[in-house]
Amino acid sequence: MTSFDFAPLLAAGLPPPAVKWTGFPKYNFIGGHNDAEQVPVERLTAAATAVLTREGATLATYGLNSGPLGYRPLREFLAGKLRRDAGISCASDEILITSGSLQAIDLVNGILLARGDTVLIEQESYQGSLNRLTRLGVNAVGVPLDGGGMRMDALAAALADLKRRGIRAKYIYTIPTVQNPTGTIMDEARRTELLRLAESHDVPIFEDDCYADLIWDGRRPPALHAMTRSNNVIHIGSFSKSIAPALRVGYIVARWEILSRMLALKTDAGSGALEQMVLAEFCAAHFADHVPRLRRGLRAKLETLMDALAEQFGTAAEFEDPKGGIFLWVKLPDSVDTLKLAPAALASGVAINPGPDWSTDKAYGKSRLRLCFANPSHDAIRQGVATLAEVCQREFGVPVRSANIEQRGHARSG
């Protein structure tokens, strides 16, 4: 039997085909996965039983009798949580539940962006956001960061430059609270300055806040959405990092005028209902004690990763000790090209994110890499870093001597 040939029928402009999944690599430092041991399986099971027993019949209707914004008790939980933790005051009808915050990003982009538009974005940023902008044909102007997040002098200069050229940016995209990949947190003073600049240039802010629950000491600055006086911030978040990414539950906080435009683009007739119901049931009772436990486990894995890097790479691996999150942004010597290191490491079972994939400045990213530490076990972290050092030694002569105990501890630069 010959197979029908779909190729000549494919729509123009499709992205390249997906690569077939062949299982996880042995040492998996990519993908933003969570810690399997920290998934609260028993409590999720109990929550599922309770909510289905009580309200299972509402599955008969699209939207669970809660309407297209998503399961009302989950939106009510979020409204309370966002008020307590982030200072955001919003009604549950100003929250749209999405299929992960990736769909939230698509919806924000969907209502605002057209080919040829310009946005401002932290120079190092989430690959999922960068790729979307590339695919949409949008000009992403990278704004450099320092230890406190997006640099306001650089943002002011970029906004002024655009103004000179008669361009009004569609938004300023920022991950202000545990930035991906740099792990920085923007303090309140800088947030005030960011809002001032955005307002004076009449540009909205797109605040992506999915890591805010994962700060080691639990203390976060207020969200930009909470601080704005002109309602110019669209805020998105996710349960992927605080509970589990496979649930695919994220959300958007915005005014109804904005949400109503997004709802018109959200053509899936509602995000998955079961996960929304289970999350609402679980979170109301357990979110507050689940998250500190998760944070302690993640912090312990980060310690293991930083120790392993210091042991295996010595001073060749430079990094800041992040204040939270699930990843470490590492600088190797300039001679290392992480776009070449990544496939060589993968051949030895170690998956890493090469820096250029996470930056608008490919040259700046060349010797940098991102390591996610949430998913691998402590042993896998140690072995994976040792294997990475071997591969890097072989390919680039770095580190000069691996496992040099004398160099231990010198790698942390803050």
Ligand X SMILES: Cc1ncc(COP(=O)(O)O)c(C=O)c1O
Closest distance between ligand X and the C-beta of residue 102, in Å?
A: 4
In the numeric block, which tokens belong to residue 72?
């009302």
Phi, psi at 32, each rounded to 5°: 65, 25
Closest distance between ligand X and the C-beta of residue 238, in Å?
A: 3
Closest distance between ligand X and the C-beta of residue 211, in Å?
A: 7
Mode of pairing for the β-strands spanning 350-351 and 27-28: parallel
Nearer to ligand X among residue 145 and residue 392 (C-beta): 145
Nearer to ligand X among residue 271 and residue 338 (C-beta): 271
Nearer to ligand X among residue 94 and residue 209 (C-beta): 209
Closest distance between ligand X and the C-beta of residue 357, in Å?
A: 13
End-to-end CA distance of the chain: 64
Closest distance between ligand X and the C-beta of residue 271, in Å?
A: 11
Rounded to whole angstroms, the Cα distance separating 235 from 152 reads 20
Nearer to ligand X among residue 117 and residue 209 (C-beta): 209
In the numeric block, which tokens belong to residue 354?
């090469």
Rounded to whole angstroms, the Cα distance separating 391 from 209 reads 35
User: Nearest residue to ligand X, using CB?
Assistant: 100
Residue that the structure tokens 């008669």 belong to: 166
Nearer to ligand X among residue 326 and residue 392 (C-beta): 326
Closest distance between ligand X and the C-beta of residue 182, in Å?
A: 11
Count CB atoms within 10 A of the CB of residue 334: 9
Nearer to ligand X among residue 330 and residue 374 (C-beta): 374
Closest distance between ligand X and the C-beta of residue 107, in Å?
A: 12
Q: Is 190 helix (H, G, I), strand (E, B) or coil?
A: helix
Would you say 301 and 322 are in contact if contact means Cβ atoms under 8 Å apart? no
Picking from 108, 369, 347, 116, the residue whose alpha carbon sits closest to that of residue 236 is: 108
Would you say 250 and 101 are in contact if contact means Cβ atoms under 8 Å apart? yes
Nearer to ligand X among residue 178 and residue 306 (C-beta): 178
Rounded to whole angstroms, the Cα distance separating 248 from 276 reads 9
DSSP 8-state symbol, 271: S
Q: Binding residues for ligand X, per CB under 6 A? A: 32, 100-102, 126, 128, 175, 180, 208, 210, 238, 240, 245, 250
